Amino acid sequence: MKNQITINSSKQRVAIIFIITALILSIPLIAMQFTSEVNWDFKDFIAAGVLLLSAGMAIEVVIRNVKTNTARTVLFLIILLALFLIWAELAVGIFGTPFAGS
């Protein structure tokens, strides 16, 4: 019974990850309808989707496999820090790497 509960909660978390990713990606999509200051193309949505889904799935893997709260917290912070640093680099080229196209 416990294994069944774990599988269902895991499926629910994955569904939540997809829903949150879609909601976050809908923000620039909606903004593009009202202003010309937001100008994303298909590649931008793909890159953001891959980045958000990767971070979400990495967090899911941590939740499934890491048992201690301290280790989970440290890994969550590392994942979120990587997400924000990569996002900033892609958005404005904060580090000036070729990764951002600068």
Q: What does the pLDDT look like over 43-74, one tens digit per residue? A: 999 999 999 999 999 999 999 999 999 999 99
Total domains present in the chain: 1
* 51 in Cβ contact with 86 (< 8 Å): yes
pLDDT in tens, 13-28: 999 999 999 999 999 9
More confident residue, 7 or 13: 13
pLDDT at 2: 57
- The crossing angle, in degrees rounded to 10, of helices 69-92 and 42-65 is 170
Domain coverage including residue 35: 2-100
Separation CA 65–CA 50 (nearest Å): 22
Separation CA 18–CA 82 (nearest Å): 19
pTM of the complete model:
0.83
